[in-house]
A and B are shown apart, each in its own frame.
Chain A
Amino acid sequence: MRKLDGRLAILSMLVVVLMVTGGLVSGGTYLSLFNLQSMATQVPEIGLLAIGVMLAMCAGNGGIDLSGIALANLAGVASGLVMTQFIPVYDAPWLFTLCFTLGAVVVGILGGLLNGLIISRLGITPILCTLGTQMLFTGLAVVFSDGRSVTIGSPDPMYELGNGVIMGVPYSFLIFLAVALVLGAVLRFTPFGMRLMLTGANARAADYSGFAKRRIFTVTYTLSGALAGLAGVIIAARNVNVKWDYGTSYLLIAILVAVMAGVRPEGGSGRIVCVVLSAIVLQLLSSLLNFIGLSNFVRDFAWGALLLAFLAVGRFQLIERLAAGIASGITSARVPRASKG
């Protein structure tokens, strides 16, 4: 049997606890379909950025991606400016949505590639490199847009992408889940995923094993950039407008989500499913606090407390020990059986 993942267990538990609490406190409105959908449309932006941060962290070498939200904004701004110039938004809504999405993801990939090349070829520490590119991306977005917001418009497919639902589930949330699923599979089952994790776990061993470390870093940061580009698309689809200074607080929240999900900042360990759950937990918590009408400073406090609690749980492996204790209690209570060998 696979060892119990304490992080996954506690995150799942938190989801349930928060939902029940929310339902009780709000007299049911919190669990109404509308609010569940509303919360689900809010998760993808931050969730995609957090997966980007996670990939960078997993690659080790002090990996982190601080440029995520800046790149997402740049992708929205750049693609928006170009596409609205050439394609009539409301006359060719499908073409526009498709081209805008492609454009934004391409900008994201290019930005991520830049990060990857600087880190792998020039050997710059990721935190410094992505801090620099973060400013670069923000600056470019300001210059391109003159510091103003860029109106993308809301033709039907675009609007649906940001706010529409299929069988009750928002499209953007489905896209987020699909991306998470694919990347989860890539990390788990492909040679690339395995090398990425192993490089993060022990860079020297990876060197001696002949891993193409540079390529791994480049691809990892490019993936992170692509995710930022996709986040940019979803932001634009939700808000009709994009602007260079949107979501400045996301930078730290994305890192918070990743660390809460048990991604080790030293590299080599982290699960996408936990990042998804962690993003959902943060969303449930902040929406719950908004429902109660508590000051938003309380939210920051709650997040901080949650993060510290998680670090403690992870450090002392509380859940695993608890589970082991329960398991041994059960087995000792029963008639001892011969182990399966």
Chain B
Amino acid sequence: MTKTFKLGCAAALMISAASAAMAEGTITTVVKISGIPWFDRMETGVEKFAEENADMTISQVGPAQADSAQQLQIVQDLVAKGTDALAVVPMDPAILEGIFKRAMDRGTIIVTHEADNQMNTMVDVEAFDNAEYGAALNARLAECMGGEGKWTTFVGSLGSRTHMQWVGAGEENAKQFPGMELVDPNNESFDDANGTYEKAKEILRKHPDIKGFQTSAGNDVLGVGRAIEEAGLTGKVCLVGTGLPNPSAAYLDSGAITAIGFWDPQKAGMAMNAVAKMLLEGKELTDGMDLGVEGYNSVTLKDGPGVGKLLIGNGMVLADKDTYKDYLF
């Protein structure tokens, strides 16, 4: 009921906004798919940014189906509409290369997120450096393990570039602790909580004295957490990995999950919009600058793979039992 009402209001607003002349410029955020928790959370950030910049027209849209063709269509229509800046989280960076190039030729500002291989973008915003993130997860794990004992790692798949970077950096970090012994590393989870659960049970049987798990894909913590809980090892085995607060809440409360790591899509949405606004105003981006968004206070600026820049924040969040309630999504 309220949703319909909100939708109606939004529609009315949009129509009036569209017919009234664009005030100080429009920034539209285009996400991979709308209506899922991750991008709903991002929308809260976009809305927040819109409140702070009331003179601009700022909104978020996304396809109803997870299909790169649908996202392409939205981007193309927005470019034709004359939107000043687009902040896009590409479903598939390759499919959007053509339209991005044409859009930039036409003077549209393009900012992307989660697409560090995008050739045609002005700035790609990444929440954190993958190596730093992996090391931070491992540091939290080592702290819980007291710096000694057997531990293992999970990745979504061996072909997942970021996951391999995370566990690789984790292994690097663990070298500081001679007592930590890595056993059977790089188990593939395929982001399937059930499969991960079975595999974790096997590992617990094979290594009854295992002390730690570092996991990568979003559902891994759930599978491993369940295995730890059912084996009655809660509090004895440490588990740190990528996960989202809402689904992990029960295991965080019980202690089966030590800590989860993630980046906050809300802040990422704000950061993308902040960058788009700066580009609109013709401001220069510099290494070490402050975007005015938490986690993006001192960003690293590098050359991207194509024409644009790669902007890396320090937006990683490690949340445990006491802090996850600040990020419920």
- Contact, CB under 8 Å: A247 / B81: no
Chain B residue nearest to A24 in the complex (CB):
B19
The secondary-structure label for the interface of chain A is helix
Q: How far is the CA of A294 from the CA of B7 in the complex (A)?
A: 8
Cβ-based interface call for B183 (8 A) = no
Residues of chain A within 8 A (CB-CB) of B64 are: 295-297, 299-300
CB < 8 Å: which of B7, B10, B17, B95 contacts A246?
B95
CB < 8 Å: which of B7, B68, B98, B101 contacts A298?
B7
- Contact, CB under 8 Å: B98 / A290: no
- Contact, CB under 8 Å: B14 / A239: no
- Contact, CB under 8 Å: A290 / B73: yes
Residues of chain A within 8 A (CB-CB) of B101 are: 240
Cβ-based interface call for A39 (8 A) = yes
Q: How far is the CA of A295 from the CA of B9 in the complex (A)?
A: 12
CB < 8 Å: which of A154, A241, A298 contacts B94?
A241
Residues of chain A within 8 A (CB-CB) of B35 are: 297
Cβ-based interface call for A195 (8 A) = no
Q: Which of A26-34, A55-63, A166-174 contacts B (4 or more CB under 8 A)?
A: A26-34
Q: How far is the CA of A42 from the CA of B18 in the complex (A)?
A: 23
Cβ-based interface call for B323 (8 A) = no
Chain A residue nearest to B75 in the complex (CB):
A290
Chain A residue nearest to B74 in the complex (CB):
A290
Chain A residue nearest to B59 in the complex (CB):
A293
Cβ-based interface call for A243 (8 A) = yes
- Contact, CB under 8 Å: A296 / B61: yes
Interface size class of B (residues with CB under 8 A): 35 or more
Cβ-based interface call for A328 (8 A) = no
Residues of chain A within 8 A (CB-CB) of B96 are: 239
- Contact, CB under 8 Å: B81 / A26: yes
Chain A residue nearest to B57 in the complex (CB):
A293
Residues of chain B within 8 A (CB-CB) of A294 are: 10-11, 14
- Contact, CB under 8 Å: A25 / B62: no
- Contact, CB under 8 Å: B98 / A238: yes
Shortest CB distance B218–A (Å):
20
Cβ-based interface call for A84 (8 A) = no
- Contact, CB under 8 Å: A29 / B7: no
- Contact, CB under 8 Å: A240 / B19: no
- Contact, CB under 8 Å: B18 / A34: no
- Contact, CB under 8 Å: A297 / B34: yes
Task: Check A296/B14 contact, CB under 8 A, given A38-B76, A239-B97, A243-B94.
Answer: no
- Contact, CB under 8 Å: A290 / B69: no
Chain B residue nearest to A247 in the complex (CB):
B69
* A64-89, CB < 8 A from B: none
Cβ-based interface call for A149 (8 A) = yes
Residues of chain B within 8 A (CB-CB) of A298 are: 7, 11
Cβ-based interface call for A306 (8 A) = no
Cβ-based interface call for B181 (8 A) = no
Interface size class of A (residues with CB under 8 A): 35 or more
Shortest CB distance B28–A (Å):
8
Contact string against A for B residues 96-117, beta-carbon threshold 8 Å, 1 for contact and 0 otherwise: 1111011000000000000000
Task: Check A25/B18 contact, CB under 8 A, given A238-B98, A240-B98.
Answer: yes
Residues of chain B within 8 A (CB-CB) of A245 are: 67-68, 92
Chain B residue nearest to A291 in the complex (CB):
B81
CB < 8 Å: which of B11, B77, B81, B98 contacts A239?
B98
Residues of chain B within 8 A (CB-CB) of A125 are: none
* B280-307, CB < 8 A from A: none
- Contact, CB under 8 Å: A34 / B59: no
Task: Check A296/B62 contact, CB under 8 A, given A162-B98, A246-B68, A249-B67.
Answer: yes
Chain B residue nearest to A149 in the complex (CB):
B94
Cβ-based interface call for A163 (8 A) = yes
* B49-92, CB < 8 A from A: 59, 61-70, 72-74, 76-82, 92
- Contact, CB under 8 Å: A292 / B78: no
Task: Check A27/B61 contact, CB under 8 A, given A35-B81, A246-B95.
Answer: no
Contact string against B for A residues 230-258, beta-carbon threshold 8 Å, 1 for contact and 0 otherwise: 00000000111101011111100000000
CB < 8 Å: which of B14, B72, B102 contacts A163?
B102
Cβ-based interface call for B15 (8 A) = yes
Shortest CB distance A231–B (Å):
11
CB < 8 Å: which of B15, B34, B78, B99 contacts A296?
B34
Shortest CB distance B14–A (Å):
4
Shortest CB distance A317–B (Å):
33
Shortest CB distance A258–B (Å):
18
Residues of chain B within 8 A (CB-CB) of A133 are: none
Contact string against B for A residues 153-197, beta-carbon threshold 8 Å, 1 for contact and 0 otherwise: 010000000110000000000000000000000000000000000
- Contact, CB under 8 Å: A290 / B7: no
* A1-38, CB < 8 A from B: 25-27, 29-30, 32, 34-35, 38
Identify the A interface with B (CB < 8 A).
25-27, 29-30, 32, 34-35, 38-39, 41-42, 45, 149, 151, 154, 162-163, 238-241, 243, 245-250, 286-287, 290-300
**Shortest 8 CB-CB contacts between residues of A and residues of B:** A149-B94, A247-B69, A290-B77, A38-B80, A241-B94, A35-B80, A293-B14, A296-B64
Known contacts A27-B21, A296-B61, then 4 further A-B pairs from the complex at CB < 8 Å, ordered by chain A residue: A26-B81, A239-B95, A245-B68, A296-B62
Q: List 16 A-B residue pairs with CB atoms under 8 Å apart, sorted by A's residue number.
A: A25-B19, A26-B19, A27-B18, A35-B80, A35-B81, A42-B76, A239-B95, A240-B98, A243-B95, A245-B67, A287-B80, A291-B81, A292-B15, A293-B17, A295-B7, A295-B61
